[in-house]
C-alpha cells in the first residue's frame, strides 16, 4: 500500500481525478477482502477484467485506467481490427483484452503457468473473445523442449535459473518456438514480457522477425535477464535492432513516438519500431478509447 498510493497519485491518467482513483483503491481493498470470488471491473470501452486480490498489474488498471499507460495505449492506437497481435507472456490477459476486446484484432496469446492460464481463459470468456483470441498454455524459447518455471510469483513467474533451481519449488512446462506456432501468419505487433527470457524467445522467432508485416515490438527491457546471463538483456535488444527495429518511447497524449537516446534508461518496457512513418501514421489516426478515468 505504501507504494501503491504514490503510484496512483502520480499516474498521468489520474491527474484530473486523484480523489476518484483513491476511491477505487478503497473500494477494491474492501470488496476483495469481503469476498474470495473474482471481481468484475470495467476496463477499456465495453471490456471488463476478472480480478482477484493480489493481482498487482491487473488492479493497477482499475486504479489508473491503464497500468502501463504508454505501452498499453500504443497497442490500442497501433492495432486495427483483423490485425494479428502476439501476446507473449500474457499473464491474465490484459493486453489480449485490449487488442481483441477493445480493438477487435486477432490475437495469439501465450502463458506458460497453468493456474495463471486459467485466469487468462476466464478473461477471454467473460469478454466473449473466443473467436479472436487463440490461447496457448506453453512457454516459448529457442528450441522445443521442457523448462522449469516458478509458479507462485504472480506477474513475476519466470524460467528458473540454475541458482534458483536448487532452492525453490518448480513446475515443468513444455516449450515451443514462436516461428513454428505462427507459421505463415503475418503479425503486425508483438508484446514480449517474459521476465528476462526475451533473448531466448527471440532466437525462436527469426522468421517472424524477418516478416515485413511486423512493425513494432513492445518488450521488457529491465534487468530481470541478469538471473540467467548478465548480457542477455543486451542480446535481446541487439536481436531486434539487427532485424531493423529502433527503440522508441510513446507519448499517448500527443500520439507521438520519439527515439530512445543511447544510454537513456528504460526501466520497464521499450517499444521497438520498424517503419516509423507508417507506425506514426497509425497511432496518430487511431480513434479514442474510453477508460474508467477518461479517454486516450
Lowest-pLDDT range of 12-16, 39-43, 173-177, 193-197 = 193-197
pLDDT score, position 168: 75
Lowest mean pLDDT among 29-43, 74-88, 128-142, 257-271: 257-271
pLDDT at 26: 95
Phi, psi dihedral angles at 92 (to 5 degrees): -90, 0
Mean pLDDT, to the nearest integer, of 144-149?
Answer: 90
Count of beta carbons in the 10 Å neighbourhood of residue 84:
20
What integer pLDDT is reported at residue 53 of this predicted model?
A: 83
162: confidence class by pLDDT, cuts 50, 70, 90: low
Q: Quote the domain boundaries for residue 202.
A: 68-287
Q: Is the model's pLDDT at 1 over the cut of 80?
A: no
Question: Is 88 contained in some domain?
Answer: yes
pLDDT at 231: 60
- pLDDT value of residue 156: 67
- Residue 264, pLDDT > 80, answer no
56 in a domain, yes or no? no
Cα separation of 47 and 66, whole Å?
13
Distance CA 129, CA 198 (A): 27
Q: What is the mean pLDDT of residues 10-16?
A: 96
Task: Pick the more confident residue, 192 or 158.
Answer: 192
Q: Is residue 32 part of a domain?
A: no
**Domain contains 206:** yes
| Residue 52: Cβ-neighbour burial (10 angstroms; 0-12, 13-18, 19+) | middle
Average pLDDT of span 28-39: 90
The Cα–Cα gap between 22 and 31 comes to 14
Total number of domains in the chain: 1
Is 0.75 surpassed by the pTM of this model?
Answer: yes
Name the one residue in this structure whose C-alpha cell is 477484467. 49
In a domain, residue 204? The reply is yes
| Residues whose CB is less than 8 angstroms from the CB of residue 226 and which lie 6 or more positions away in sequence, other chains included | 196, 232, 233
Interatomic CA distance for residues 173 and 45, integer angstroms:
35
Q: Name the band, by pLDDT with cuts 50, 70 and 90, for residue 148.
A: confident
pLDDT (0 to 100) of residue 83: 98
Work out the pLDDT band at 144, boundaries 50, 70, 90: very high
Residue 79 has pLDDT above 60, yes or no: yes
* Average of per-residue pLDDT across 152-180: 79
- What does the pLDDT read at residue 64? 97
Distance in angstroms (rounded) separating the CA atoms of residues 185 and 193: 21
Query: Does the residue 190 lie in any domain?
Result: yes
Closest C-alpha to 202, from 227, 223, 232: 232
8 Å CB contact between 219 and 192? yes
Higher pLDDT pick, 256 / 158: 256
Once rounded to an integer, what is the mean pLDDT over residues 172-189? 96
In a domain, 22, yes or no: no
Q: What is the largest CA-CA distance in the chain?
A: 52
pLDDT at residue number 97: 98
In a domain, 236, yes or no: yes
Over 60: is that where the pLDDT of 266 sits?
no
What is the per-residue pLDDT across 121-141, written as a single tens digit (0 to 9) for each? 999 999 999 999 999 999 999
Report residue 153's pLDDT band, with 50, 70 and 90 as the boundaries: low
- Whether 85 and 108 have beta carbons less than 8 Å apart is answered as yes
What CATH number is attached to the domain comprising 152? 3.40.50.150
Report the chain's mean pLDDT, rounded to a whole number: 91
pLDDT greater than 90 at residue 46: yes
- Residue 239 confidence (pLDDT) above 70: yes
Amino acid at each position: 500500500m505504501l507504494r501503491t498510493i504514490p503510484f496512483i497519485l502520480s499516474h498521468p491518467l489520474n491527474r484530473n481525478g486523484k480523489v476518484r482513483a483513491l476511491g477505487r483503491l478503497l473500494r477494491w481493498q474492501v470488496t476483495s477482502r469481503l469476498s474470495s470470488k473474482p471481481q468484475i471491473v470495467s476496463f477499456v470501452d465495453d471490456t471488463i477484467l476478472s480480478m482477484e486480490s493480489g493481482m498487482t498489474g491487473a488492479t493497477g488498471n482499475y486504479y489508473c485506467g491503464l497500468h502501463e499507460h504508454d505501452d498499453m495505449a500504443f497497442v490500442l492506437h497501433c492495432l486495427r481490427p483483423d490485425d494479428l497481435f502476439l501476446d507473449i507472456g500474457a499473464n491474465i490477459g490484459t493486453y489480449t483484452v485490449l487488442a481483441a476486446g477493445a480493438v477487435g484484432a486477432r490475437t495469439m496469446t501465450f502463458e506458460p503457468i497453468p493456474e495463471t492460464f486459467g485466469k487468462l481463459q476466464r478473461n477471454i470468456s467473460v469478454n466473449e473473445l473466443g473467436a479472436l483470441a487463440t490461447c496457448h498454455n506453453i512457454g516459448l524459447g529457442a528450441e522445443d523442449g521442457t523448462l522449469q518455471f516458478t509458479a507462485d510469483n504472480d506477474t513475476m513467474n519466470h524460467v528458473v535459473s540454475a541458482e534458483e533451481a536448487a532452492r525453490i519449488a518448480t513446475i515443468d512446462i513444455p516449450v515451443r518456438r514462436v516461428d513454428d506456432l505462427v507459421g505463415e501468419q503475418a503479425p503486425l505487433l508483438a508484446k514480449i514480457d517474459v521476465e528476462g527470457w526475451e533473448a531466448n524467445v527471440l532466437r525462436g522467432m527469426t522468421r517472424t522477425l524477418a516478416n515485413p508485416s511486423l512493425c513494432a515490438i513492445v518488450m521488457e527491457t529491465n534487468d530481470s535477464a541478469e538471473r540467467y546471463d548478465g548480457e542477455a538483456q543486451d542480446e535481446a535488444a541487439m536481436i531486434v535492432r539487427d532485424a531493423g527495429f529502433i527503440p522508441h518511447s510513446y507519448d499517448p497524449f500527443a500520439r507521438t513516438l520519439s527515439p530512445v537516446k543511447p544510454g537513456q534508461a528504460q526501466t520497464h518496457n521499450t517499444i521497438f519500431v520498424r517503419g516509423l512513418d507508417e507506425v506514426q501514421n497509425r497511432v496518430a489516426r487511431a480513434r479514442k478509447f474510453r477508460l474508467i478515468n477518461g479517454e486516450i
